[in-house]
């Protein structure tokens, strides 16, 4: 196993069955060795700095009906909200004051944010904060819409592929959503020039280890600049409410493998990791993650943006959460980096 880990670190590539071995057959000690190698690779690129991104949850309206997600269209218990441009700009202002230099606007697929409306919001942020990166995470759009976002000043786009296996993808999403469309969106984003992020939930219902291997191979082909990996967590008002949550351990192994394959990638220690265990966020960093995304949304909206149950850090003011993040990072030998944190090779 150690030979496999070394070879993955050296060549950034293994055979499919070798990924499978890492995903299924590591002893505790070998897992620790995998994590050690992954964090060494991250430290070679990023030293002990952890980039921060201010997350602004733009809207929890969504036209999609993904079986796993708490803001799916059919969840009539969700209290829906939309942020106005003014509310977005206020969140940015608070974030900028605290030192954030990346703003991530994430939301459901909400067509009331037409290309015109989004371009106006993006341009306003771009104008007011020329030194900041603007990241979008707003789902599937056509090429022209993505291009308009980019030309308005957005730099990065997050769109997890969720599963590259057509059958598995279809079991997570209702008819009408396909992995072909998803994958086309991702290649369009890259072509336009976005720093592009993708990824999966680990332990999503019906996912097999072979599916995860396929996802690892897809990410190798896509070469995303950002990779988001979190455990699946159930939400009580979805069809998947009774499905098991994903495994913390397996999530960390996937993060570490991807770090060894993608030394330069920006890999967050996700909110889902922070939710599944008190020290989940620390463990993600110790398995090779180098980004944290604190919540900048106005607190009154946060309880409404629930993709899964028991979401972590819901009541922290951004300022408090940064202070407590810094403390926690220091305990494991890391520190907040206030750089904009673009992808660099």
Pick the piece of the chain touching ligand 5AD (CB under 6 A) from 37-45, 180-188, 231-239, 322-330: 231-239
Structure-token match 């990779």, residue found? 227
Smallest distance, Å, CB 65 to ligand 5AD? Answer: 12
Report the run of H or E that residue 102 belongs to, with start and end.
Answer: strand 102-107
Pick the piece of the chain touching ligand 5AD (CB under 6 A) from 115-123, 225-233, 250-258, 316-324: 225-233
CA distance 259 to 40: 10
Q: ∠142-122-59 over CA atoms, to 5°?
A: 75
Is 64 or 145 the residue whose CB approaches ligand 5AD more closely? 64
Is 95 or 197 the residue whose CB approaches ligand 5AD more closely? 197
- The footprint of ligand 5AD on residues 298-337 (CB under 6 A) is 307-308
Looking at 83, 104, 201, 287, which residue binds ligand 5AD (CB under 6 A)? 201
DSSP string across 236-275:
TTSTTTTSPPPPHHHHHHHHHHHHHH-TT-B-B--HHHHH
Per CB under 6 A, does 232 bind ligand 5AD? yes
Per CB under 6 A, does 62 bind ligand 5AD? no
Smallest distance, Å, CB 291 to ligand 5AD? Answer: 14
Is 62 or 152 the residue whose CB approaches ligand 5AD more closely? 62
Smallest distance, Å, CB 89 to ligand 5AD? Answer: 23
Looking at 53, 101, 156, 160, which residue binds ligand 5AD (CB under 6 A)? 160
Query: Residues with Cβ < 8 Å from 148, sequence gap 6 or more?
Result: 115, 118, 119
SS (H, E, C) 6-35: HHHHHHCCCCHHHHHHHHHCCCHHHHHHHH
- The footprint of ligand 5AD on residues 242-301 (CB under 6 A) is 272
Pick the piece of the chain touching ligand 5AD (CB under 6 A) from 9-17, 91-99, 206-214, 227-235: 227-235
CA distance 274 to 40: 22
Pick the piece of the chain touching ligand 5AD (CB under 6 A) from 73-81, 83-91, 168-176, 226-234: 226-234
Is 149 or 232 the residue whose CB approaches ligand 5AD more closely? 232
Is 106 or 188 the residue whose CB approaches ligand 5AD more closely? 106
* Cβ atoms < 10 Å from Cβ of 140: 16
Smallest distance, Å, CB 162 to ligand 5AD? Answer: 6
Q: Which letter does DSSP use for residue 344 in this model?
A: -
Smallest distance, Å, CB 187 to ligand 5AD? Answer: 17
3-state class of 200 per DSSP? strand
DSSP string across 33-100:
HHHHHHHHHHHHHHTTEEEE-EEEEEE---S---TT-TT-TT-TTS---B--HHHHHHHHHHHHHHT-
Looking at 61, 68, 113, 146, which residue binds ligand 5AD (CB under 6 A)? 68
3-state class of 105 per DSSP? strand
Burial status of residue 65 (CB atoms within 10 A of its CB: 0-12, 13-18, 19 or more): middle
Contact 71, 288 (CB under 8 A): no
Smallest distance, Å, CB 68 to ligand 5AD? Answer: 4
Per CB under 6 A, does 235 bind ligand 5AD? yes
Q: Is the dihedral of CA 91, 93, 96, 102 positive or negative?
A: positive
Nearest 10 degrees: CA dihedral of 239, 243, 248, 251?
A: -60
Looking at 197, 230, 294, 341, which residue binds ligand 5AD (CB under 6 A)? 230
Smallest distance, Å, CB 64 to ligand 5AD? Answer: 11
Give the footprint of ligand 5AD on this chain (CB under 6 A). Answer: 68-69, 160, 162, 201, 230, 232-233, 235, 272, 307-308
């Amino acid at each position: 196993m150690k030979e496999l880990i070394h070879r993955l670190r050296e060549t950034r590539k293994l055979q499919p069955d070798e990924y499978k071995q890492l995903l299924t057959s590591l002893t505790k000690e070998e897992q620790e060795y995998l994590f050690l190698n992954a964090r060494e690779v991250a430290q070679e690129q990023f030293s002990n700095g952890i980039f921060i991104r201010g997350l602004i949850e733009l809207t929890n309206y969504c036209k999609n009906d993904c079986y796993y997600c708490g803001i799916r269209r059919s969840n009539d218990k969700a209290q829906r909200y939309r942020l106005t441009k003014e509310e977005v700009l206020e969140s940015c202002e608070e974030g900028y004051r605290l030192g954030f230099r990346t703003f991530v606007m994430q939301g459901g697929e909400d067509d009331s944010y037409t290309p015109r409306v989004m371009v106006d919001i993006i341009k306003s942020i771009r104008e007011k904060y020329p030194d900041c990166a603007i990241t979008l995470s707003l789902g599937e759009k056509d090429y022209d819409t993505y291009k308009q976002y980019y030309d308005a000043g957005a730099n990065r786009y997050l769109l997890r592929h969720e599963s590259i296996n057509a059958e598995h993808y279809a079991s997570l999403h209702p008819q009408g959503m396909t992995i072909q469309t998803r994958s086309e969106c991702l290649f369009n984003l890259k072509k336009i020039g976005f720093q592009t992020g993708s990824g999966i939930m680990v332990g999503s219902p019906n996912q097999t280890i072979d599916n995860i291997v396929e996802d690892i191979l897809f990410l190798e082909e896509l070469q995303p600049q950002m990779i988001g990996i979190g455990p699946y967590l159930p939400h009580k008002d979805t069809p998947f409410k009774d499905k098991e949550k994903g495994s913390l351990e397996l999530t960390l192994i996937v993060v570490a493998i991807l770090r060894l394959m993608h030394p330069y990638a920006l890999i967050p220690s996700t909110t889902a990791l922070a939710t599944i265990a008190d020290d989940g966020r620390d463990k993600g960093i110790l398995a090779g993650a180098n980004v944290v995304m604190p919540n900048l949304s106005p607190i009154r909206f946060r309880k409404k943006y629930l993709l899964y149950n028991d979401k972590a850090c819901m009541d922290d003011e951004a300022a408090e959460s940064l202070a407590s993040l810094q403390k926690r990072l220091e305990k494991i030998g890391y520190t907040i980096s206030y750089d904009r944190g673009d992808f660099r090779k």
